[in-house]
Amino acid sequence: MKHRLRSRAAPLLTARCAASALTAIITAASMLAGCHPAPPVYQQPDRHRKPEPAQAAIANMQMALEYMRMNDLAHARDRIERALGEAPNNANVQETAGLVYERLEDKVKAQRAFSAAARLGKDDPSIQNSYAGFLCRTGKTAAGEKLFLEVARSPLYQTPEVALLNAGVCVGGAGDVLDAERYFNRALTVKPNMPEALSQLGNLALSRGDFKEALDYVQRYLAVNPASPEVLLLGVRAERKLGDSTGAAVFARRIESEFPNSEQAQVLRSGIER
């Protein structure tokens, strides 16, 4: 019987620039709130000749992603719908449409676009990876997990550790901690010291009360990867659970000095972590 425990899920990763841009939207949204940057300018490839539909579709798709990065969803929708009109059989355009509609919380259109992308890009493991993420985010955990594993096995997919990590995030978000841990360790087998896998394993160790192991993952992460506020806060929590206030203070000072504007720094200032 699988041990199920609810844990905080991490964002799914992808090797495609479209989904990478969506990840950037999540992290950049708070910084962009309240400011009004100039919209991206569409440069015509030839001022005297209308671009071919396929070229125009790619340009509109890229602008949709840029508007999403700026959290301007109305213009993102306008641009991706132009792209859909120009190249409805382009798998990348359909994938990006799925991302836009998902951000707009239009589940029906998002499902339709992602399904079309998966059908049109059936031989593209990166698009399948993106579709698997959508399946997981919409509660279809078993289907998403299965597709992530197919992606990881594909000889065309150059980052199988990403698909394995995503499989772990997918099942972990549904409460299957044991399988999540197994997938994270498999990701590390493919790419030792993968930062996202180490961070996930550290959080799982902390959640089950193995504070020394959680700290070991933090130290292993920091030995080979640049610090992140999330990992430093994990260090704070592990050290405090171990009763080492000095060690916790060291991690806390690093958050304040290296990431003063981070959510983690705000959490520390609020006193919630005391």
Annotate 131-156 with DSSP letters as a single string: HHHHHHHTT-HHHHHHHHHHHHH-TT
Query: Are 28 and 58 found together in one domain?
Result: yes
Domain end (from 122, 149, 172): 122
Query: Are 175 and 238 found together in one domain?
Result: no
Query: Are 159 and 234 found together in one domain?
Result: no
> Which is nearest to 160 in space by CA: 139, 137, 183?
183
Query: Are 147 and 223 found together in one domain?
Result: no
- Provide Rg for the chain, Cα atoms: 21
**Tokens 């698909």 -> residue:** 163
pTM of the model: 0.79
pLDDT of residue 46: 56
Query: Are 231 and 269 found together in one domain?
Result: yes
Higher pLDDT, 150 or 45: 150
pLDDT of residue 271: 81
Query: How many Cα neighbours within 13 Å face the side chain of 23?
Result: 13
Tell me what the pLDDT averaged over the chain comes to: 86
pLDDT of residue 53: 81
Higher pLDDT, 141 or 10: 141
Q: Is residue 222 one of the residues assigned to a domain?
A: yes
Specify the number of domains making up the chain.
3
In tens, the pLDDT along 135-194 reads: 999 999 999 999 999 999 999 999 999 999 999 999 999 999 999 999 999 999 999 999
Strand partners, 176: 4
Query: Are 99 and 153 found together in one domain?
Result: no
Query: Are 24 and 118 found together in one domain?
Result: yes
Range of the domain at 269: 195-274
Q: What 8-state DSSP symbol labels residue 44? A: P
Q: Could you tell me what percent of the chain has a pLDDT over 70?
A: 80
In tens, the pLDDT along 231-258 reads: 999 999 999 999 999 999 999 999 999 9
Higher pLDDT, 35 or 161: 161
pLDDT of residue 52: 81
Token output for 47? 């001022």
